[in-house]
Structures are given as C-alpha cells and as structure tokens.
Amino acid sequence: MLALNRLNLSNARGDLLGGVTAAVVSLPLALTFGVASGAGAEAGLYGAILIGLFAALFGGTSTLISEPTGPMTVVMTAVISSLIAANPENGMAMAFTVVILAGIFQIAFGYLRLGKYITLMPYSVVSGFMSGIGVILILMQLAPALGQRAPPGGVVGSLMSLPELITNVQFIELLLFGLTLAVLFKLPDKYRKLVPPQLVALVAISLFSVLFIFADIEVRRIGEIDVSLPSIILPYFTHEQLGVMLVDAMVLGMLGCIDSMLTSVIADNLTRTEHNSNKELVGQGLGNIMSGLFGGLPGAGATMGTVVNIQAGGRTALSGIIRVIALCIAVFGLVGLIESIPLAVLAGIAVKVGLDILDWSFIRRVHKVSKYSTMIMYAVLVLTVFVDLIVAVGVGVFVANIIIIQKLSAAEEENVRSMSDVDDSIPLDDEQRDLLNAADGRVLLLYLSGAMIFGVAKALSRERKNIDKHDAVIFDISEVTYIDDTMALSLENVIYEALDADKHVGLVVGSDLAKDKLMNLGIGERLPLENFTHSRTEALRQALGAAMASETTEDA
C-alpha cells in the first residue's frame, strides 16, 4: 500500500495549469491558517508544502490537493493553547508531536482498510460538526478583526472579552478587515474566473495598508518570516500529558480522514474516476508526520484547492507536485511582501472560510427534513463550539444511532408475523395453504423476514403467548437477510420455551449460515437435526404430522 505514485506527462499542460492555480489559492489560506493557529505563518506554509508533497506522492486520489484546512486548524489551535498552558516551555513541540501521532493513526487506519468506513456517519452529525467548526473559526477572528491580540480561553474567552475588545477597537484594522470581506464577497464573477478572490484581497488590501495608511498609525502585520529550510522538531511528550496528546491525535487523525475522504468523493464525481481510500489515508498520514516533524500545521484534502485544480485541467498526481514547486517559488521569492500583510486581512479571509464551512444548505432545510435531524445538528453544533469536539461527535453519533435503530426496529417489527390459518400476511403456495388449513389451527407459523436486529426482539417476545394455544410451531427465518446475536438469543429462548411446553418445533432456514449461527448457540443439542429444513412445505408436513399425533394421544 505504501507505493510511490507514478508521475507521467500524459496531461502535462493541464497538470501545470492545475498545479499553479492551486498554489495561488493555497498561499493566502496557508498564511491565514498559520497565523490563526498561533503557530505562525511559517507553520501554515510548511504544512501546505509538506502535506501537499507527500500526499501527492503516496496518496490514492490523483487530483487531490492536500494542505491545512479550516477544521484541522481549529483543532490544532485548541491543541496548541492547551499544551502550552500545561507546559509553556515545550508545549509547541508537544503540539507538533500530536500532528505526528495523528499521521501515524491515519496510516494505521489505511493499513486496517478502514477508509470506506470513515465517512459512515449520520449527515446531521457531520453537518453540525462542520458548522460548529465554522462558527469557532469565525469567533476566533473577533480580536484580530478589531485590531487586538486574541485573549486566552478560545471561543469562550473571545466572547467574554468582547466588551473590552470593542472598547479598545483599532478602527484602521477594522477598516482593513471590512475591506477584505468586501473584496471576498463583492469581487465580480468575471474576475473570480481569472484569479482567486483570496489572493486579490491579500494583495490589494495589503498594498492599500502600505501605501495609503500614514506611517504613524501602527498596523499589526505578519512580521518577519523565517523561510530557511525548516529544522526537525523532535517528538516530545510528558507522562502527564501523553493521554491527552493521544486523544488529540486521534481527533486530528479522524478529522483529517473524514475531510480527505469527502473531498476524494468530490474529486471522483468531477473526474469520473475512483480513488483508493486506504492508500489515500496512508499518503495523508505520511504528509502529516513530515509536517509535524518540521513544524508544520496538520492538513487534509482541501475541497477548494482540489476543485480549482480539476477545473484548471489537473488530472494526475503531477499537478500536486507542481503546486508544491510553485508554492515554494512564491514563498521564497515574495517573503518581503508576505511580511507586510496585515493580520486584519488574514482575519477577513479566515472569517470567509468559516462562513463557507457553515452548512448553509442543510441549515436552511433541516427543520423541513426531520425534528430529530434538527435536534441532533444543532446539539452537535453547540457542543462543538462550547464544550468539546469529541463530546460533540460522540453524543451526536450515539443519539443519531439510537434514533435510527428505533426507527429500523419499528419498521422491521412488521416483518414478525404469525398465523395458524391461511391469510395474505405470509406468502404461501397452494400446497402450503392446504397443509396449514388441514392443521385446523393446531400449527402456528411464525414468519420472520428482513433484518432482525436487537430492537426487534421485543416483537418476537410478544408472540410467545400465542405458542401455548397450538400443538406445533414453525419458526420460518428463510427470508431473514441478517440476524444479530441479540435476536438469535431471543429466538433461542422462544424455541426453548416451546420445547419445554412439549410443542413440536420446526425451523425453516434460508441458508446454512443462519443454521450454523443457531447451531453455534447450542440449539442443536435440544432441537433434532431433522427439524431444521430449507423447505417451508417440509416443515409444515412435519408440524402437521406432529399435531395429528398429539391429538391422537390426547384422544387415547
């Protein structure tokens, strides 16, 4: 699975245009996320370069552009702040160690072939989580938008400090923030097709701040950037923080997997290809490991960069390599200009990213879909913003699954039916109808179909009272598509109750797998092997014979 992708020149022109265009989109976002995370602009740039390079070389989606993303940056920001608070001297090194661990988790997910299962999550949970991430990203920009340093305490700290932030607002920086948003929202479409609005805002508003703002007015800018080759940051952890770091790494790894897999699906739809999920996870893991080793932000497949790459003509992994080369040239060649970018401009770009992350389409319609989906989506959103990312996803998935199981169980309960005379609720052929009629109510046919999960066990238990009224009972599970352990044990209990009441029991199975599952429980120790059959007709014959014999014994 760890195999270097072959680079070919079959689509060289398209890959060149795609890679360069993706680099133009990546540069302002990398700077924005680097500054927003607290690790510095360099961390965003290193992450964009290293993750993009290794994911392109070893990933499983040929057109995927990988770089720091909004969701990953939000989580990384929380990791950095918590670890620095716990260990001011080594907190940043510990945060990058978390990035390395996240990459290791992703590689493990790939080798365990969990790629296709990563996105099996209710949409209401995904929507609430991603929208919560968007809200966090927006709220984190309150301080820089108002021209001040971000207060401690994350989102809650920013909200609590809002009155003070407003009182001390720096109007020039607020103006730059507003102008940035104006460009991002109002740039005409004809120009958007030629150049990304993020780059237009970055260049235009930065130039405005340099040329038209008086020298005596201080504006907070990115400042000096060290663009020398990054040095290795050795992994560092303490016994006290190791557990927290592993949990943070798991969250980062899972979020990166979800982000990348969703973007890979989008890439497949645009290019009509099929990605290799497990190989992509390995590539993402390698990228994050290298990024963490050299002080870069964690990243994942980025939807914006990927779509831009494809629309510009990118079709192979060569486009991702060209993007990295173009990004390196831009970074090392324009470092003097990058250092003059106002932080308020980056705050405006980050707010636009946060607004784009919000799932507006689902938010507008969720109340029309289901009250349960509405409840779950908003609960996950609020928990994500004000409590904890893990708690939000855990609670959301748990509640969503409970609701889904309840609904599925209610639907499948209709597939548990019993009859002792002929009606249309159970599909019988003419011979089977005749046999059941001949039994004259002494044979009960208990028919199960569909997926028999643990939530249906109650419906089966309700049929127990009917068994006492008959001399023979047939359990027909020939059309059951799935039976879980709980349902199998419940079926076993009902069969044993019938046997204890001296009833003839027949079992119609549709496959040897169902039979083996029940036999493994030990049913074969009490139920004779001949009472297992694949034929409903044969089971009815046996039951009719047993019922007639029972009647003869009673008459004697």
Between CA 458 and CA 454 the distance in angstroms is: 8
Structure tokens at 38: 């607290």
What DSSP letter does each residue of 54-82 carry, written as one string? HHHHH-S-TT--EE--HHHHHHHHHHHHH
Count of CB atoms within 10 A of residue 538's CB?
14
Architecture of domain 414-551 in this structure: 2-Layer Sandwich (3.30)
Going by pLDDT thresholds of 50, 70 and 90, the confidence category of residue 247 is very high
Tell whether the model's pLDDT for residue 214 goes beyond 80.
no
**Residue-level pLDDT at 64:** 94
The closest alpha carbon to 176, from 131, 144, 140, 135, belongs to 144
Identify which has the larger pLDDT, 195 or 68: 68
Cβ neighbors of 363 (< 8 A, separation 6 or more) are 127, 131, 377
Main-chain phi, psi angles of 17, to 5 degrees: -65, -45
Closest CA to 69 of 97, 38, 34, 99: 34
* 298 contacts 102 by C-beta, under 8 angstroms: yes
Query: Distance (Å, rounded) from C-alpha 452 to C-alpha 332?
Result: 62
Tokens of 258: 């979800």
pTM tops 0.75, yes or no: yes
pLDDT of residue 452: 81
Whole-number mean pLDDT of the chain?
Answer: 86
The span from the CA of 216 to the CA of 453, in Å, is: 72
Q: How far apart are CA 187 and CA 384, in angstroms?
A: 32
Q: What is the pLDDT of residues 398-424, one digit of tens each?
A: 888 888 877 777 776 766 776 666 555
Q: Which residue has the higher pLDDT, 294 or 487?
A: 294
Which pLDDT score is estimated for 306? Answer: 93
Once rounded to an integer, what is the mean pLDDT over residues 286-305? Answer: 94
Q: Name which of 381, 353, 349, 363 is nearest 155 in CA terms.
A: 381
Q: How many CB atoms lie within 10 A of CB 160?
A: 12
Cβ atoms within 10 Å, residue 282: 26
Residue given tokens 């019993």 in the structure block: 418
Neighbours of 513 (CB within 10 A): 9
- In angstroms, rounded to a whole number, what is the distance separating the alpha carbons of residues 102 and 251? 8
What's the whole-number mean pLDDT along residues 248-261?
A: 92
Lowest mean pLDDT, pick from 160-174, 217-231, 370-384, 488-502: 217-231
Lowest mean pLDDT of 118-132, 136-150, 159-173, 250-264, name the range: 118-132
Q: Kind and range of the H or E element at 506?
A: strand 504-509
Report the C-alpha gap between 250 and 253 in whole angstroms: 5
CA distance 258 to 72: 11
- Is the pLDDT reported for residue 97 higher than 90? yes
In whole angstroms, give the CA distance from residue 252 to residue 67: 14
**Number of helices (H), then strands (E), in the chain:** 26, 7
pLDDT for position 419: 65
CB 477 within 8 A of CB 507: yes
Check pLDDT > 90 for residue 319: yes
Query: CA 252 from chain center: how many Å?
Result: 11
Lookup: tokens for 227: 């663009």
Question: Which H helix or E strand runs over 126?
Answer: helix 123-139
Pair 277, 133: CB distance under 8 Å: no
Kindly indicate the confidence band of residue 550, based on its pLDDT and cuts at 50, 70 and 90: low
Q: How confident is the model at residue 551 (pLDDT cuts 50, 70, 90)?
A: low
Higher pLDDT, 127 or 92: 92
> Do the Cβ atoms of 220 and 344 come closer than 8 Å?
yes
Would you state the pLDDT for residue 382? Answer: 93
Q: Which of 103-117, 189-203, 503-517 has the highest mean pLDDT?
A: 103-117
Rounded mean pLDDT, 477-495: 85
| Model pLDDT for residues 158-198, shown as the tens digit of each residue | 888 899 999 988 999 999 999 999 999 998 988 888 888 88
Predicted confidence at residue 425, as pLDDT, reads 62
Domain locations along the chain: 12-358, 414-551
| Short-list 142, 129, 136, CA closest to 155 | 136
Share of the chain above pLDDT 70, in %: 95
Q: Are strands 532-533 and 300-301 parallel, antiparallel or unpaired?
A: unpaired
| Closest C-alpha among 132, 359, 115 to residue 261 | 115
- The DSSP bridge pattern shows strands 443-452 and 472-483 to be parallel
The 10 Å Cβ neighbour count of residue 481 is 11
Query: Quick one: pLDDT at residue 326?
Result: 93
Confidence of residue 58 (pLDDT cuts 50, 70, 90): very high
| Residues 487, 501: Cα–Cα separation, whole Å | 21
Look at residue 448 in the predicted model and tell me its pLDDT.
85
What residues contact residue 58 under an 8 Å CB cut-off, 6+ apart?
2, 3, 4, 5, 279, 282, 283, 286
pLDDT of residue 556: 46
Residue 339 has pLDDT above 70, yes or no: yes
In the predicted structure, residue 215 carries a pLDDT above the cut 60: no
Which one has a higher pLDDT value, 505 or 7?
505
State the distance between the two ends of the chain, measured CA to CA, in whole angstroms: 74
What's the rounded Cα separation, in Å, for the pair 236 and 154?
Answer: 24
Contact 256, 280 (CB under 8 A): no
- Nearest by Cα to 307 from 263, 272, 367, 350: 263
Residue 56 predicted with pLDDT over 90: yes
Q: The tokens 């039916």 sit on which residue?
A: 417
pLDDT digits (tens, 9 = 90+) for 421-475: 655 566 777 888 888 888 888 888 888 888 887 777 777 777 777 788 888 898 8
- The C-alpha torsion from 44 through 45 and 51 to 52, rounded to 10°, is 130
Strands (E), 472-544: 472-483, 504-509, 532-533
Radius of gyration for the alpha carbons in the chain, expressed in angstroms and rounded:
31
